[in-house]
Every structure is written in structure tokens, then in C-alpha cells.
């Protein structure tokens, strides 16, 4: 296994795991999720849909790892997560909620890294 393949495996697994964790927090109505979504203007009714997008992204990433023929699916899933987190950043910036901008920025960075490594491998 080359360094790029190892990085692809580790980063993609990590990205999938944190998206599953965030989706679970969305679905559970975790206090921090509800507070943050209220601050940035995301209606509570959107949370199950956002959780579904995160779970779909995580599933696509994992399927992309499972077989080389499914690598394009993993790249598409990573691309979808990139778009999701760009939207999250836009909501934060629009609402001028900058004190926790690092969180969607971090999730965006993991999605971008997964996409870059999927394309490179």
C-alpha cells in the first residue's frame, strides 16, 4: 500500500465517521446542533434532511473505498459533502456567526481532502 492509498483510506474513513456522528447529533436534536442552527437561521425541520445528506455522503465514501469500480461514487459523495459544507459556511457568514466557523470549516476540509485523495488514487 502506497502512502497515497493509506492517506486515502484513513482520511476517507475519518470523514465518513465524523459525518455519521454529526448526522446522529442532528437526528437526536443535540443541544449544540439546535443552538447553532437557530443562530445561523437553519429551520429545525431541515435537520433530518441535513442528517440524511451527511449519512448519504458517508455511505458513498465507504462504498468508494470498497471497490476500485466504485471509486467514482466515493468521489461524487465527497463532492456532495463539499457542497453541503460550503452551504454551511455560507449560512454562518450570512448570519455573521463567526465564533464557531471553524467547525463547518473543519468538516469542509475533511471532505475536500477525501475528494482530492479519491481523485488522486
Task: Measure the CA–CA gap between 68 and 46, rounded to whole angstroms.
Answer: 34
In percent, the amount of the chain with pLDDT more than 70 equals 100
Structural domain boundaries, residue 103: 3-120
15-24 average pLDDT score: 98
Classify the C-alpha dihedral 49-51-52-57 as positive or negative.
positive
Question: Confidence class of residue 88 from pLDDT cuts 50, 70 and 90?
Answer: very high
pTM exceeds 0.75 for this model: yes
Task: Measure the CA–CA gap between 8 and 29, rounded to whole angstroms.
Answer: 31
Q: Does the structure show a pLDDT above 90 at 97?
A: yes
Q: How many domains does the chain have?
A: 1
Instruction: Output the CA–CA distances (angstroms, integers) from residue 44 to 2, 9, 27, 36, 90, in the order listed.
Output: 44, 34, 10, 10, 18
pLDDT of residue 1: 83
Amino acid at each position: 500500500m502506497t502512502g497515497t492509498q493509506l492517506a486515502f483510506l484513513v482520511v476517507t474513513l475519518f470523514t465518513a465517521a465524523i459525518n455519521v456522528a454529526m448526522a446522529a447529533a442532528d437526528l437526536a436534536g443535540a443541544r449544540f446542533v439546535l443552538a447553532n442552527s437557530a443562530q445561523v437561521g437553519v429551520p429545525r425541520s431541515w435537520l433530518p434532511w441535513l442528517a440524511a445528506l451527511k449519512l448519504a455522503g458517508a455511505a458513498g465514501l465507504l462504498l468508494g473505498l470498497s471497490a476500485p469500480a466504485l471509486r467514482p461514487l466515493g468521489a461524487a459523495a465527497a463532492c456532495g459533502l463539499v457542497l453541503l459544507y460550503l452551504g454551511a459556511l455560507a449560512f454562518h457568514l450570512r448570519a455573521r456567526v463567526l465564533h464557531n466557523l471553524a467547525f463547518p470549516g473543519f468538516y469542509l476540509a475533511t471532505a475536500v481532502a477525501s475528494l482530492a485523495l479519491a481523485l488522486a488514487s
